Structure 1
């Protein structure tokens, strides 16, 4: 199934180099236009499916991770993928349940399943165990679990996985290229494999550029505590960090917002936080939001809904990587990024894509290879 999904978009993908960016408006516009060509749009993805339509009564439901569908994280990105798929495949019936706490996972899944959807999307690593149980109990529902790894999946359950360590590596290379103090930081969420992959990938990417750089890292007990993330970022800045990466939902977003407002460079995650956390350039500190490490959650949701619509849905792991454009980075927008830094970041991305650069991170648990990782 994974190969079929990749072939759907292979004709659409172009690996054009990002144009060099600089601080004047004309060159920034050129850079943004070039980087946008490396991002397959949902409209292009729809065209690739050849106009197939869902049967009458086809229904898609979604249960979010803790948060909302407009929270600027992968909840929102997954929702955008569902909405785009509904429009593309003429799906008339959709529903969303927003999760307030971990204690609500089981009840929310049961409520959503009671509506007899054809597809039920669940978002986040933490809801994965409940999703597996629900999939086993409801074999007639096709489950799409974003960020959910299991050793085995039933035939009606696809676990969408990402090589977050590759996205973190790119962010780290960017941070190290920008840092003047030799100290950078990253505000993480809960210490689970996707977050560990981001944080360790960030460290590895930074040290690929500058082996002597100091990388400050912190995990948090919640993905939904922007005040704590802001406090972490301010502490990092006090310790000399001049670039902060946020990889922890609203907690991480709180961190990069505080960092940017304080004058440090900031790097977002999951989707382009220039348009979410920084309100399209209208929020304070927007000029310091350098880029975002993007996980194309929207594409993964869209594609797997498409598989269900055409009755080719098959359980298993579906992994998005730099190579298949499921992991990438956002345009630099208002940030004053030099042509040299832009070229370095693109060189790193291309190296990850063709295999000439390796992260040194285990794709299963996010630990460094050789340090008792699951890959050793």
Structure 2
């Protein structure tokens, strides 16, 4: 009987010990799961930092671009503009993107998509989007837009128009063409005849004739910016007719001009960007239209909160246009003549025509692609 009571007592004590141990273990686990005061402080700091990062992310400017039908890799106009945006992304901390337009019918849908994405600025590459930008700017008055080579929308409060003095750069390559030609015959392939695009022709022909009044300039309007085959066919015909230097202002169409020069062993002059890399033995220079500089300048103004509405013009005096730095195929005397012409333009001693009326007043009816 005593033995039985003792056994029961031992068993009861064992249960109590086990219960206490389990309780103690449970309490210890709770303590481990509860952050200390120091942990809580660190956690709060981490949360604040994350919130700060999120705020910074939401305030980053978003800039998007719509290409014309030449596409982002047209090795010309669109590519130059995209280069400017990429530089802005790297140096100014903005977020950039683009949509390509396979046809003109894509302009509206591309711009609508970029509006829906909440971009702070939408850049349209080229005057062909002028009507689309006008409609979008009026439909979305709080959305900022920019367009290259169009000033018809300058009165809209949310549109910035980037214009260039492409006639000045074209004058310089006209000097080059006249001096490099051995036949006194040169050519010019235009992408499309418009007041803006014709400025390339006015400057080029003026540069040729001022340098060599006896030179003849053969002209062709491809009426397309993405038809390399048409550009090639036009250049081949010019070379067949005796021209030995052909300048193009035709976007992707001009790639055909350069291809023809390679095949024919003749000279080509590029446009918009330094196109010497496309044919190092044939592209003697390029009339650079610095869309990259203009786009970067525009975005930089936005980051500073400056006004960007209206016409902003980029010429030789502010880094908007120039002759390409690649001049490996040019003799020293040609380079010197080009620099002389450049200095005179900057000084106002040479006024390069930019309209048909100005051109005709000095040179007569020798350039007309209307």
TM-score under structure 1 length normalisation: 0.78
Q: Measured at CA, do residues 369 and 116 of structure 1 come closer, stay the same or move farther in structure 2, by a change above 3 Å?
A: farther
The residue number in structure 2 matching 1:368 is 359
Pairwise CA distance, 1:322: 1.3
Residue by residue over 1:108-163, the C-alpha shift from the partner in whole angstroms, topping out at 9 and shown as x without a partner, is 11111111211111101111121122122222222121111216432221110011
Aligned twin of 2:40: none
- Given that 1:54 and 1:309 are in contact with CA atoms closer than 8 Å, whether structure 2 keeps it comes out as no
SS at match of 2:59: coil
The corresponding residue for 1:259 is: 261
8 A Cα contact 1:351 1:357, kept in partner: yes
Aligned-partner SS, 1:235: helix
Aligned-CA RMSD value = 2.0
8 Å CA contact retained: 2:154, 2:161: no
Aligned to 1:237: 239
Task: Specify which of 352, 359, 365 is matched with residue 345 of structure 2.
Answer: 352
3-state secondary structure, aligned to 1:185: strand
1:82 aligns with 2:85: yes
Question: How far apart are residue 341 of structure 1 and its match?
Answer: 0.8
Correspondence list, 1:291-310, <5 A = 291-310=285-304
2:65 match: 62
* Structure 2 Cα separation of the partners of residues 369 and 182 of structure 1: 21
Structure 2 vs 1, CA of residues 366 and 315 (structure 1 numbering), >3 Å: closer, same or farther?
Answer: farther
Deviations 1:90-118 (A, max 9, x none): 12x33211001111111111111111211
> In the alignment, is the contact (CA less than 8 A) between 1:265 and 1:290 conserved in 2?
yes
* 2:293–2:319 CA contact under 8 A, matched in 1: no
CA distances 1:38-67 after superposition (whole Å, capped 9, x unpaired): xxxxxxxxxxxxxxx997242111111112
User: For the residues of structure 2 that align with 1:356 and 1:317, how far apart are their CA atoms?
Assistant: 25
**Greater RCO (CA < 8 Å, at least 6 residues apart):** 1
TM-score by length of 2: 0.79
Choose which of 335, 346, 349 in structure 2 pairs with 1:342. 335
Q: Aligned partners of 1:369 and 1:214: how far apart in 2?
A: 16
SS, match of residue 208 in structure 1? helix
| Partner secondary structure for residue 360 of structure 1 | coil
Question: What displacement does 1:178 show?
Answer: 0.8
- Aligned-pair CA distance for 1:69: 1.4
**What is the SS of the residue equivalent to 2:354?**
coil
Contact 1:256 1:266 (8 Å CA) reproduced: yes
* Distance (Å, rounded) in 2 between the aligned partners of 1:193 and 1:253: 23
Aligned to 2:184: 182
- Separation in 1 of the partners of 2:228 and 2:69? 13
Instruction: Report the alpha carbon displacement of residue 227 of structure 1 after superposing the two structures with TM.
Output: 0.9
Partner of 1:322: 316
Map of 1:197 onto structure 2: 199
Q: Tell me, which stretches of 5 or more residues in structure 1 are unaligned?
A: 1-52, 279-284
Asked whether the equivalents of residues 245 and 256 of structure 1 are also in contact (C-alpha less than 8 Å), the reply is no
Contact conserved, 2:153 with 2:159, CA < 8 A, in 1? no
How far apart are residue 253 of structure 1 and its match? 2.1
- Pick which of 321-330 and 173-182 moved more: 321-330
In the TM superposition, what whole-angstrom CA distance separates every residue of 1:173-197 from its partner, at most 9, and x where no partner exists? Answer: 1100111100000111011223211
Cα shift at 1:213: 0.7
- The equivalent residue for 2:131 is 129
Does the 8 Å CA contact 1:185/1:245 hold for their aligned counterparts?
yes
Which protein has the larger Cα radius of gyration, Structure 1 or Structure 2? Answer: 2
Contact 1:269 1:294 in 2 (8 A): yes
**Greater percentage in helix:** 2
Query: SS in structure 1 opposite 2:322?
Result: strand
User: Equivalents in 2 of 1:185, 1:60: separation in Å?
Assistant: 38
**Residue 99 of structure 2 aligns to a residue in which SS?**
strand
Task: Please give the secondary structure, in 2, of the residue aligned with 1:66.
Answer: coil
State the distance in 2 between where 1:150 and 1:105 align. 17
Contact 1:155 1:316 in 2 (8 A): yes
